[in-house]
Amino acid sequence: MNYIILDLEATCWKDRNHNKQNEIIEIGAVKIDGSGNIESEFAEFVKPKLHPILSDFCKELTTITQAEIDAADTFDKVISKFIDWIGIDQPYALGSWGFYDKTQFEKDCDLYQLDKGWLKNHISVKHQYAQITNLKKPVGMDRALKIENLTLEGTHHRGIDDARNIAKIFQAYFGKWEV
């Protein structure tokens, strides 16, 4: 069994009272093998279809530049590479910090009329972490790292960096996750 610990970044705006659909702009993921070791990583930017120009708020939050997005492939091409990298012919489980990432993948798959079946085996590391550690309620990834005396490495709100940090928490409790 491979465990795909992932984090997405998506288009965003300071004013949340808008009718704009968020779209994935970065997929970051770490593949952990059945022994709990990191096998490989996946990191790709994605060019949005509906709103290809990033808001200033989004660029500031994620540190992703417009030039990086302009040079990126569209979701349909990137997701094809991602699914190939996962290796869906082998047993795997997806894990993210909460359910947002799975929901955003579903929305982008719908936008491009792509199959969503590969998303079925997903867990919220955030919610299971709260259960495993007997927290009263789920906490943010940065708080969980502090609880574990782990350092937040890289840039928070960057897909690959957040995936690496979530993977550290996942590895710390390897074998305790319900998939």
What phi, psi does 98 have (nearest 5°)?
100, -175
How is 71-99 classified by DSSP, letter by letter?
TSEEHHHHHHHHHHHHTTTS-EEEEESSS
Residue 158's SS3 state is: coil
Q: Which of 51, 127, 156, 157 is catalytic?
A: 157
Angle between helix axes 75-86 and 100-111 (nearest 10 degrees) is 130
Q: Which of 18, 40, 4, 10 is nearest to 106 (CA)?
A: 10
Active site residue 18: no
Question: CA 176, CA 179: separation in Å to the nearest integer?
Answer: 9
Active site residue 9: yes
DSSP designation for 119: G
Q: Which of 9, 23, 26, 44 is catalytic?
A: 9
User: Which residues are identified as catalytic?
Assistant: 9, 157
